[in-house]
Each structure stands twice: as C-alpha cells, then as structure tokens.
Amino acid sequence: MSTEFNLVSELHDKTLVIKTEGYINSAGGEKMVQEFSKHNGVTKLILNLENSKVVNSIGISHLIEIIEKLNQSNGKLVFTNLDPTIEKTFSIMGLFQFADKSDTVESALKD
C-alpha cells in the first residue's frame, strides 16, 4: 500500500528523471512541479511511477501543468513503469495525447 509521497531525481544532460513513491495527490503533484522547475533547460522529463499506484485528479492537474510547460519549449514528458490502473486513468484523462509512455526508464532514455 502507498505511503506518503516522496521523490528522487537524476539529471542526464537535458533529461530529468524523477522517480516517485506514494500517492500522487495535491502535495505529491506540487513536489513534482517544484522539482521540475528547479532544472532550467530540461527538454525531456522521465517520470518513473513504479512505486506510485494511486493518483487523484489534483495530482493529474499538476502533471498537465508540467506537460504544458514542456510542450511550450518543445520538450516532452515520458511516463515509465506504469501500473495498469494508473495507465488507464491517464489514458481516460487524455494525458497520452501530449505525453509518451515507455516500459522502463532505460528505454525512455534511448528514445
């Protein structure tokens, strides 16, 4: 079961990889936006959601904010290690119209 939200990040040139853990809610979404905003010039954000199994609408609205910012600078967001429930949720909310998905971080880094 999910714990409260945590994240770790790694920068690979202009690609930022954020790995999350726990409930992606308002607080979780805000932490992701803050982490993304710390790194100017990032053109690709890889979000590894392996340890996040639950997301709510407010968390999704923060993800949309990140996607819009990336799209503005011709960047892109790639989700990886998606739980089937979260994948279906993102699909219904239309996130994959503006963001990509990949099985693993490694495959997302190669693309």
Partner 1 sequence: MDNNNLVEKLAVQVESFQEGFEILSKSLTFIEMVKSFLHIIRGNFIITEIYSFHKLANDSKWNNISLKKIPDPSYLSYLIDSDNPSIKYFVDLQIEVSITLPLADKSYLGILIGPKFDKSKFTDLDKITLQILLQVFDSAFKSFLNRQKEKGLVFEFNENVLHLNNLIDTSIEISRYNKRRVLYDIALERVTSLTNASSALFEIVKKSQGNVKKYITFPNGVEPDKILNSKLKIHSSFEHQDRIYTFVLSEKETRHSTTSFTELDQMLLDSIARQVSVSLENEFLHKQALEKEKIEQELNVAASIQQKILPESLPKIEGYDLAGINIPSREVGGDYYDCFDLGNGKYALIIADVAGKGIGAALLVSTLNAALNSYLQFDIPLTEMAERLNKLIYKSSPSDKYITFFIAVLDSNSGELDIVNAGHNPIFLLRKDGSMEKLDADGVGLGMLDFGLPFDGQIMIMNPGDKLFLYTDGIPEAMNDNEEEYSDEEMINFLLTNSEKSSTDFIDSLVKSVKDFAGSAQQSDDITAIMLKRN
Q: Which residues bind partner 1 (CB under 8 A)?
A: 1-5, 22-23, 25-27, 53-58, 61, 64-65, 68-69, 72, 85, 88-89, 92-94
User: Cα 95 to the chain's mean position, in Å?
Assistant: 11
Shortest separation between residue 72's beta carbon and partner 1, angstroms: 7
**Which residue lies nearer to partner 1 by CB, 50 or 109?**
50
Residue 1: CB minimum distance to partner 1, A = 4
Q: HSE of 103 in the Cβ direction (CA atoms, 13 Å)?
A: 1
Tell me how far apart the alpha carbons of residues 67 and 61 are, in angstroms, rounded to a whole number. 10
Q: Which is nearer to partner 1, 92 or 107 (CB)?
A: 92
- Establish how many alpha carbons lie within 13 A of residue 13's alpha carbon, considering only the half-sphere containing its beta carbon: 3
